[in-house]
Copies of this chain bind each other. A is one copy, B any other.
Amino acid sequence: MVNIAVMGHGVVGSGVVEVFYKNKASIEKKAGTQMDIKYILDLRDFPELSYHDKFIKDFEKIIADDSIKVVVEVMGGIHPAYDYAVRCLKNKKSVVTSNKELVATKGAELLRLAKENDVNFLFEASVGGGIPIIRPLHQCLGANDIYEIAGILNGTTNFILTKMIREQMHFEDALALAQKLGYAERDPSADIDGLDACRKICILASLAFGEHVYPNEVYTEGIRQITREDVEYAANWGGAIKLIGSAKVVDGGKLDVMVAPRFVPSSQQLSSVDDVFNAILVRGDATGDVVFYGKGAGKLPTASAVVADIIDAVRANGTIGSLWWQDTGKGQVIAHENSVSAYYVRVMCGDIQAQFHISSLFGNVDYLSRMNKPVDEYAFITHALSEAEMDECVQKLAGWGFKVLGKVRIFEE
């Protein structure tokens, strides 16, 4: 018999309780033991719930109870989640979390603490909701040298971009619709400015490459500046604009990690991932491209990932060794200015010499077209160049009287 405590009874927490009791028989069969949720920690009371007697307000009760082997942290935020997780691990209780901020900023430390105490720190639900990605990444793809991970990691932005693509909506209107449907918060910044995707790519990169990648090391660009015109040019180019979190190994073994909108060619599976769906592409030397697709958020998908982790934590005999990264203090992320991409650029310029200027900067470029393109508008795809070189080019264009209206990196096939 194993007892579990759930910290936080919000959307995910209540989903965990629901999924646990709904499928309790098959969950216990898979875990190989009887299990129960003994405590639910929340500041609020829920007298209307059938399981209201499980609620507690004092975290110390969880620590003091030796029958609690697994603690589920679904409160969100760093405080007090971080302190609670530390104390649970030090008291030899495995911690299962859906808290991406916690994992992205404190993962290396919590993994080390879990190992020192022969328990587990598990976080399948922190990336991709119900899509199994953390476990396949360290376990199933264990025989691969992974050299790139890239994904559509945020459902809100993908919903907005899908509306801009399919229904020619403006960004502001698509955002308002997402808010109306409950896909976006009233303050949508964490989603649309890329912070949520940034935390997720940090977790994936840390796990795939073994060294902690922190959110503040990652250049992050959201989708606020994407226009209908950019979307239209992307379609004519043969693809779609997606917000991509990516981490890839570059020369010298360092990592190029970034969150930014990108032109994704339609031959690439990620281009057809629409609405609130997420997808994660993993590129390994032996496996080739593998894509994991599904709902990246939502109460039940996320809760089911948490429950799968609970099963693993119960079943595990000591720390699962392959789920591991560390902070050696060396850092592995290259400086942003050295990152290299091809670009889509959209400029406006009345100068009759415009194309001559463009060629002088970028050499031969592929010009794109769109319906009703003004004669003084130019959109084109550059060859690959570094962020520093691109910044320089943009300055030169401005000096020559160009107005830079759009600039989106190309996703490399």
Smallest CB gap from A135: residue in B? B140
Q: Are A130 and B304 in contact (CB under 8 A)?
A: no
Which stretch (A82-90, A224-232, A281-289, A361-369) binds chain B? A281-289
For A333-370 the 0/1 string (1 means CB < 8 A from B) is 00000000000000000000000000000000000000
Q: Are A286 and B301 in contact (CB under 8 A)?
A: yes
Interface residues of A in 205-226 (CB under 8 A from B): none
Tell me the bound Cα distance from A86 to B341 in angstroms: 54
Q: Are B289 and A145 in contact (CB under 8 A)?
A: no
Known: A290-B294, A315-B321. A304 touches B141 (CB 8 A): yes
Q: Are B145 and A140 in contact (CB under 8 A)?
A: no
Number of interface residues of A (CB under 8 A): 53
Q: Is A317 an interface residue (CB 8 A)?
A: yes
- A281 → chain B closest CB, angstroms: 9
Q: Is A307 an interface residue (CB 8 A)?
A: yes
Smallest CB gap from A282: residue in B? B294
For A138-153 the 0/1 string (1 means CB < 8 A from B) is 1111111100000000
Residues of B within 8 A of A131 (CB): 287, 290
Q: Are B32 and A321 in contact (CB under 8 A)?
A: yes
Q: Is A406 an interface residue (CB 8 A)?
A: no
Which stretch (A22-30, A42-50, A180-188, A381-389) binds chain B? A22-30
Residues of B within 8 A of A124 (CB): 140
Tell me the bound Cα distance from A334 to B27 in angstroms: 27
Known: A286-B130, A287-B300. A140 touches B294 (CB 8 A): no
Q: Are A136 and B130 in contact (CB under 8 A)?
A: no
- A367 → chain B closest CB, angstroms: 27
Residues of B within 8 A of A19 (CB): 143, 286
- A317 → chain B closest CB, angstroms: 5
Tell me the bound Cα distance from A273 to B268 in angstroms: 10
Known: A139-B312, A269-B272. A23 touches B289 (CB 8 A): no
Contact pick for A142, options B139, B301, B311, B321, CB 8 Å: B311
The 9 closest A-B pairs by CB, nearest first: A132-B140, A143-B307, A286-B304, A130-B287, A290-B294, A291-B293, A132-B136, A286-B300, A143-B304
Which residues in A have some Cβ–Cβ distance to B below 8 Å? 19-20, 22-23, 26-27, 30, 32, 124, 130-132, 135-136, 138-145, 269, 272-273, 284-295, 298, 300-301, 303-308, 310-312, 315, 317, 321-322
Task: Add 4 more A-B contacts to A143-B304, A269-B272 (CB < 8 A).
Answer: A20-B143, A22-B285, A136-B140, A287-B300
